Chains A and B, each alone.
Chain A
Amino acid sequence: MEKVLAGQTVQVDQEGYLIDPNQWNEEIARAIAAEEGIELTPRHMAVVKWIRETALSGKPLSIRTVKKSGVVDIKEFYQLFPGGPLKLSTKIAGVSKPKSCL
């Protein structure tokens, strides 16, 4: 479905994840984050960019890969994106959340 984020029309799925990662930019990231009650700081943005690069290069995202990233440790990852850090950071990064086969 269509949605207007930061004044731009984008395609999102039922849960609000961007369908086309190419429609992403930093303003859209800020708008998605705001909907989740997060104000993006430069620290958030550094993590979001790493999440985005990793996901777009086809590598799996898990707490283990974040732990090894060198970009953020897990305690801070949870502080930045409280509750479900992978679910939230992927959404803000304009990529799909980690999924199972079902």
Chain B
Amino acid sequence: MKSLVILGAGTSGTMMASHLSKKLNKEWEIILVDKDEVHYYQPGFLFIPFDMYKEKDVVKCKPDLLPKSVHYIPSKIDRILPEENKVLLEDRVLNYDILIIATGCQIAPEEVEGMKGPLWHKDIFDFYTFQGAVALRDKLRTWKGGKLVIHITEMPIKCPVAPLEFAFLADDYFKKRKMRNKVEIYYVTPLSGAFTKPVSSEKLGYLLKEKGIKMVTDFAIERVDNENKKIIDYGDREVDFDLLVTVPTNMGDECIARSGMGDDLNFVPTDPHTLQSKEYENVFVIGDATDIPASKAGSVAHFEAEILTENILRYIEGKELLPAFDGHANCFIESGNGKALLIDFNYNVEPVEGKFPIPGLGPLALLKESKLNHWGKLAFRWIYWNMLLKGIPIPFVSATMSEKGKKLN
């Protein structure tokens, strides 16, 4: 019996188990390892602080989401020994013929001095964890207003548009609660703006003005001053806050560092087109765990999974891998007021206007606010549980990006 081991049963690991259980013959055993029983629908964390989703909307039990033929091991992964084709778990050793790393990434607030200090989850919150999103919801329910600072520590982060969506939804939330005049909203980013690509900044710049969101750009945080409630950057600029909602540094799991397989942020060096590890032929990497310059998003992992499945079959047959992954990403962006935007892009083509998924017809509009896009974002949860995780392709949407129906220059 040969063994294919998948590390991590999040979005990517579950999808790979679904795909491969249908494709691999009986000679192969598929083993999946994860430390937690709960599968979180992370895109739903955005809605929890605003009471739009409840806790139960974003959780399911991991083993229930897996095909029966997959052998699930609930355990912490200690480290990989890639030279020996072994994975050390807490109380046993797994041997593998093929390894798929799908351990994702998570927040590391301890990377910034003072961030996880006395005010953590009191006046300083994240919404990238279930606990953070719930704690922030409880805070907002009774908050009387003041200066809300929405902040990104450093890039890359998963779902890079989530903080901007948070700002838009916050504007909406305070308007609905008739207290928008009591709240100042600031958006603080290490980048040169909320929109950094030419077409987006031209088409979407109005959103910030319309919603009265103030920008602080090129802000590289050095530390958080808990006593005076300030964030301070390396250039000694200061932004004071009453309520800080930050996206801390995002890092790959510690097990990658322990295995000596990651970069500074524990991301695994990966071929951006084949998804094979750059160092080990029989190791593949998918989703947020890679260092590839694609967005860290569930939709990206979905496209990667289709291509990686094909490449693993090729690898088993001794064929050359297809350099097929083009960085395709497809993301809904909540813009508040019951509307959303949709963007579709890849390594080479920035988000532009057009129609999606059917060129010319849509029905979804790209890079434009619409109510239909908002319904699309809400429907994404159903699609996630029932199609994405099960490895069912979405009609009309291919793994590689289509240039048809797009206003390209």
Question: Which A residues form the contact surface with B (CB < 8 A)?
Answer: 13-15, 58, 60, 62-65, 68, 74-75, 77-78, 82-87, 97-102
A13–B198 touching, CB < 8 Å: yes
Kindly provide the distance from the CB of B257 to the nearest chain A CB, expressed in whole angstroms.
15
For B327-367 the 0/1 string (1 means CB < 8 A from A) is 00101010000000001010000010000000000000000
B202 and chain A: residue at smallest CB distance: A14
Partner of A102, one of B155, B156, B196: B196
B195 and chain A: residue at smallest CB distance: A102
Bound: A13/B164 CA distance, A: 25
Known: A60-B156, A63-B234, A64-B154. Contact between A101 and B218, CB under 8 A?
Answer: no
A90 and chain B: residue at smallest CB distance: B192
A100–B160 touching, CB < 8 Å: yes
Known: A75-B234, A83-B218, A86-B218. Contact between A102 and B160, CB under 8 A?
Answer: yes
Kindly provide the distance from the CB of A71 to the nearest chain B CB, expressed in whole angstroms.
15
A84–B192 touching, CB < 8 Å: yes
B235–A82 touching, CB < 8 Å: yes
A84 and chain B: residue at smallest CB distance: B218
Interface residues of B in 169-213 (CB under 8 A from A): 190-192, 194-198, 200, 204
Question: Which B residues form the contact surface with A (CB < 8 A)?
Answer: 154-156, 160-161, 164, 190-192, 194-198, 200, 204, 217-218, 220, 222, 234-235, 264-265, 293, 295, 329, 331, 333, 343, 345, 351
A63–B220 touching, CB < 8 Å: yes
Instruction: Given A84-B218, A101-B351, output 7 extra A-B contacts at Cβ < 8 Å.
Output: A13-B198, A77-B234, A86-B220, A97-B196, A99-B196, A101-B329, A102-B197
Partner of B191, one of A64, A74, A83, A98: A98
Bound: A23/B218 CA distance, A: 26
Bound: A87/B194 CA distance, A: 14
Listed from nearest, the 5 A-B pairs whose CB atoms lie closest are A84-B218, A99-B196, A63-B220, A78-B235, A74-B234
Known: A63-B154, A74-B234, A75-B234. Contact between A84 and B196, CB under 8 A?
Answer: no
Give the chain B neighbours of A83 by CB distance below 8 A: 218, 235
Bound: A58/B291 CA distance, A: 11
Partner of B343, one of A15, A74, A86, A101: A101
Give the chain B neighbours of A68 by CB distance below 8 A: 264
Bound: A58/B295 CA distance, A: 15
A62–B200 touching, CB < 8 Å: no
Known: A62-B190, A63-B190. Contact between A98 and B155, CB under 8 A?
Answer: yes
B234–A102 touching, CB < 8 Å: no
Bound: A86/B191 CA distance, A: 9
A96 and chain B: residue at smallest CB distance: B196
Partner of B155, one of A60, A77, A85, A87: A60
30 A-B pairs whose Cβ atoms sit less than 8 Å apart in the complex? A62-B190, A64-B154, A64-B265, A74-B222, A74-B234, A75-B234, A77-B234, A78-B235, A83-B218, A84-B192, A85-B220, A85-B235, A86-B190, A97-B191, A97-B192, A97-B196, A98-B192, A99-B191, A99-B196, A100-B161, A100-B191, A100-B195, A100-B197, A101-B160, A101-B161, A101-B329, A101-B351, A102-B161, A102-B200, A102-B204
B220–A74 touching, CB < 8 Å: yes
Give the chain A neighbours of B192 by CB distance below 8 A: 84, 87, 97-98
B203 and chain A: residue at smallest CB distance: A102
A84–B217 touching, CB < 8 Å: yes
Kindly provide the distance from the CB of A85 to the nearest chain B CB, expressed in whole angstroms.
8
Bound: A91/B352 CA distance, A: 24
Bound: A62/B200 CA distance, A: 22
Q: In the complex, which of the residues A14, A63, A83 has the most CB atoms of chain B within 10 Å of its own CB atom?
A: A63
Bound: A15/B192 CA distance, A: 11
Give the chain B neighbours of A15 by CB distance below 8 A: 198
